[in-house]
A and B are shown apart, each in its own frame.
Chain A
Amino acid sequence: MADGTRKLKVGFADQLRDIEVALPAGEPQPWDATTKLDVVGKPHPRIEAAAKVTGAARYTHDQRPAGLVHAAVLRCPHPCAVLDALDLEPARGAPGVLAVLAVAKPGDRLLFAGQDVAALAATTPQQAHAALARIAVRYSPQPFVVDTTAAMQPDAPLVHRAQVRERSTEGDEPGTPTGSSQRGNLRMSPSQKKGDVDKGLRQAKVTHEATYSTQAHTHSALETHSIVLRWDSPTSLTAWCSTQGIFSVRDELAEVFGLKPQDVHVITDYMGGGFGAKFGASAPGSRLGFIAGELARQARAPVALLLDRREEHLCTGNRPDSIQQVTLGAAADGSLTAIKVLAHGSGGIGTGAGVGRNAFAIYTKCPNIRVESHDVFTHAGPATAFRAPGHPQGAFAIELALDELAVKLGKDPLELRLAHNEHPVRRHQFELGRKQFDWDNKRKRVADERQRNTRLRHGVGVAASIWGDFGRGKAVVASLSVGRDGSIELRNGLQDIGGGITTVVAQVVAEVLRRPLADIRVRIGTSELGPSVGSGGSNTTSSVTPAVRAAAEAVLQQLRELAGKQLAARRPEDVLWDSKGARVGGKSIAFVDLCKHIAGEAIVATGTRPDTYGAYPSRFMGGNSVAIAGVQFAEVELDTWTGLVRATHVLALHDCGRVMNPLTCRSQITGGIILGTSYALSEQRVMDKRHGVMLNPNLDSYKIAGARDVPAIDVVFTEVHTGANNTGAIGIGEPATIPTAAAIACAVFSAIGTPVRSLPLTPDRVLAALGAIPTAAPARG
């Protein structure tokens, strides 16, 4: 088949249309709005779930290769210090110690409390931790700054003395502006701009200007960053790693130890949660891969380096904080004339404190927009991608600012949004949500309670998300085999981080081959199984399923040819294929019988995915990927006496292309909302400004939402046929968490009539907004 164009029916709801897409040779006819599927799109429980509910699933923390020894890392206790002396010899003689390693050397300037200094390995974890105390180390503490505002002052202690290079991973949003200049602790990034924002503000009849701030937020995956590493020969190794990107681990270990990538075998059968921080063999602030590999070489034994909870908070990444000055201008009729955001945020010693695309790319009818976001360096652990990097903080500021402007304009916040949003799917979601949430009536009740000054108040808010379909072409090579015994096995070096991709790829194979889902064996989780993508940027399903489908279609073609021979078909098209097997006229052959005629052991075919070929109905930032839309409505209950806010209900309307498995897709959206609720109401990294250390590096005072803190959640899929790839899948992991905190903050504003402009929305801040207690200084860290 030569390259060619094909017609596709794309769109959503009743807005369907035909488009033409250019397809490379061999690409299967894409599933579109006219395609009826039996297995894909239906709810299916996870096929690997039994291993998870019986405790049989072996995560990285559970690996016990023979002779395993245990590593521990000595970390710098100071926010900034010069390492004066380091003597490992006393630890070398401690009970059970098999290897010691200096990671920092005397003279090094250490930049955050938690940075690697030295490491060792011992027979038991207890011996390793006990031996750390024997390391003789001397530091000269240096001036430091951990507060973002303080770090922006000209006389603030300087964090980096040289230019900082941006570190980006597969968890980062593609196409984020790069190129920057650095002055003091400030690293300026190029702005997103259109029109003339100053002119727009001059034209405005009504303006709103305020500063919004958000807290630093740690990923807190339950399984900490961890690696178990075994040298199999002087030039080859096996690493079990809790990672979102098997091949990123392979490549880092190959580079660090000068090995051929194919001699590095990485295994991630199961992994206990990844939200953007688990790429590469190391953590963003700790050289785990290097440490484990060196210790294993010295100890001549496999080494487990499993971070504890405190380390996980300090050196494995975080969502940066932000201080965002938002200025909005509107004409007398309420149309926006300007959106201006000047944001500063600290990713500690790292970069990446942006505020996403929310202010720039959602309310696009505003002609003049400028969004600047700059990094502020502080002496804290480096930030890294965290589920929709930048977006939740950006959404919080722009959405709450819009609500404040709406009040000044005397407009319904939903109307203001509808009037400025041009994405057809998002418009549809706003309208649908308005009805289903009963927005208009709920707003009346909220206003009534506010007017009556009741103790208990309700509030409602709405906010939007934007993300792109970042499905990657040519990155995945999936391999499918059908054996002579009728067994079906899909192989790919993919990791399932909890999104449910294992089940989804089985569904695709079952759909194409018309075989029962239970008959599909999916082998993933090691680098030996063929190239795949990292799970970041919400790209797994859209990158992997088209390649799997291509492999399955190729196998099916060979099976049909085989059936044609067996049943003496005159033409290949005469072979009919269904759930029983093949048929030609009145003759038929069952699937298992047909397989017995396979020459050799199996039919094996590989499949890959071309670049994204369609982007209907709306392109993301002018590129060739679909702009994903989502809208969430939130309701809160607020006690004006205690200041306590409870999120009681969230209605989430999301576009995720073709919904491959509604059961797991719904779970992922629910999870995004719960993470967003937790970010809105309770989570914050608290830094001690005087000592420069994190005060709550645990899970009892770092408050992540529990079962009783979550709202009732309704999920509505607005299925969109985008023409992006042959399965129509696009991502959902990130979009689902973007608007939650913003919608909750807007709801709190509607409940009390005063905005709380800092996250998290803790009782002290609510009470301060109510005038019940003095305004607290914003606690940022």
Chain B
Amino acid sequence: MSDIPRISRRSLFRGVGSATLVAGCAAKTPTPAPAPGLDPAAPPLAGTALGPGPAPLRFTLNGAPQTLEAAPSTTLLELLRHQLDATGSKLVCDRGACGACTVLVDGAPQPSCMTLAHDVEGRGVTTVEGLATNNQLSPLQRAFIEHDALQCGYCSSGMLMSCQALLNRRGATDAAAVEHAIAGNLCRCGTYPNVVAAVLSVAKGGA
């Protein structure tokens, strides 16, 4: 684990305080009391301040150690797609509503568009590119193909990661559990029933 305080887009907004955000929009709003994190008199946050320029970042991507620099405002998805050319994870809604950018951070599914790159400092990130090993498709990937759990394929990367996380925690007990796990993954082609069938087939196969 890193000793840098973890910041996400959500927690950043929370820290700044919604009143401050609103105040920024309406000039006549009375100035609210400064949010705790912004009070100049308050003690500084623990750890090293980052930015505004690129700052060093280390994490593991699909098992390979990464050492690079990224601006603190960079999201994990931007880092993956633009700096590391790992374009499997897709940018679709850019606000955590569709699941197309889902990756696993230390095994837990997260929307990478809502995760700051520096939040994965010292952690392990798995993307769709990391599901196959030695060019062998994983059981879940094979099941997606066999059950035709994809059409255009644009949701598939995120869908696979949510499903893999469910399988990893041995939670694919029935269709409802799979549907719950992919409730945050939107598919416009309408592959959901086949995704459910694919995941259940893997769960039954004990993979």
Contact = CB atoms under 8 A, between A and B. Distances in A.
B160 interface: yes
A73 to B, nearest CB: 16
Interface residues of B, number: 55
A707 interface: yes
A561 interface: no
Interface string A62-80: 1010000000000000000
B190 A710 contact: yes
A708 interface: yes
B91 to A, nearest CB: 7
Given A54-B131, A272-B153, A700-B97, A663 B148 contact: yes
B186 A667 contact: no
Contacts of B186: 222, 699, 704, 706
Contact of A670 (B82, B185, B190): B190
Given A49-B145, A664-B148, A221 B196 contact: no
A12 interface: no
A475 to B, nearest CB: 23
B151 A667 contact: yes
Given A52-B156, A222-B100, A699-B97, A62 B87 contact: yes
B150 interface: yes
A667 B141 contact: no
B128 interface: yes
Contacts, number: 166
A222 B98 contact: yes
B153 A670 contact: no
Contact of B188 (A51, A53, A275): A275
A437 to B, nearest CB: 18
B56 interface: no
Contacts of A275: 188
Contact of A308 (B94, B127, B190, B191): B94
A222 to B, nearest CB: 4
A45 B145 contact: yes
Interface in B72-104: 73, 81-82, 85-95, 97-98, 100
Interface in A708-745: 708, 710, 712-713
Contacts of B97: 698-700
A610 B81 CA distance: 45
B146 A53 contact: no
B90 A671 contact: no
A237 to B, nearest CB: 22
B179 A708 contact: yes
A674 B128 CA distance: 25
Contacts of A670: 190-191, 193-194
A55 B93 contact: no
B180 A708 contact: yes
Interface in A343-364: none
B74 to A, nearest CB: 9
A474 interface: no
Interface string B134-162: 00010001001110101111111100100
A54 B179 contact: no
Interface stretch (A209-217, A399-407, A492-500, A594-602): A492-500
B59 interface: no
Which one of A50, A55, A125, A674 has the greatest number of beta carbons of chain B within 10 Å?
A: A55
Contacts of A671: 151, 189-191
A45 B191 contact: no
A667 B156 contact: no
A222 B187 CA distance: 8
Contact of B152 (A273, A663, A710): A273
A50 B137 contact: yes
A671 B152 CA distance: 11
Contacts of A704: 186, 188
Contacts of A674: 190, 192
Interface in A645-672: 663-664, 666-668, 670-672
Which one of B73, B81, B127, B191 has the greatest number of beta carbons of chain A within 10 Å?
A: B191
A332 interface: no
A777 interface: no
A675 interface: yes
Contact of B137 (A53, A272, A699, A713): A53
B77 to A, nearest CB: 12
A129 B192 CA distance: 35
A58 B86 CA distance: 10
B167 interface: no
A667 B148 contact: yes
Contacts of A45: 145-146, 148
A83 interface: no
Given A222-B155, A674-B192, A53 B150 contact: yes
B68 interface: no
A33 interface: no
A431 B157 CA distance: 42
24 contacts: A45-B145, A53-B160, A54-B128, A55-B89, A59-B87, A221-B152, A221-B154, A222-B188, A223-B90, A270-B153, A273-B188, A273-B189, A309-B92, A498-B153, A667-B151, A670-B194, A698-B93, A698-B95, A699-B92, A700-B95, A706-B185, A707-B182, A708-B179, A708-B183
Given A50-B145, A221-B188, A698-B95, 20 more contacts: A45-B148, A52-B150, A54-B128, A54-B137, A55-B128, A56-B88, A62-B81, A64-B85, A222-B186, A223-B152, A270-B152, A273-B152, A667-B190, A698-B93, A699-B95, A704-B188, A705-B190, A706-B182, A707-B179, A707-B185
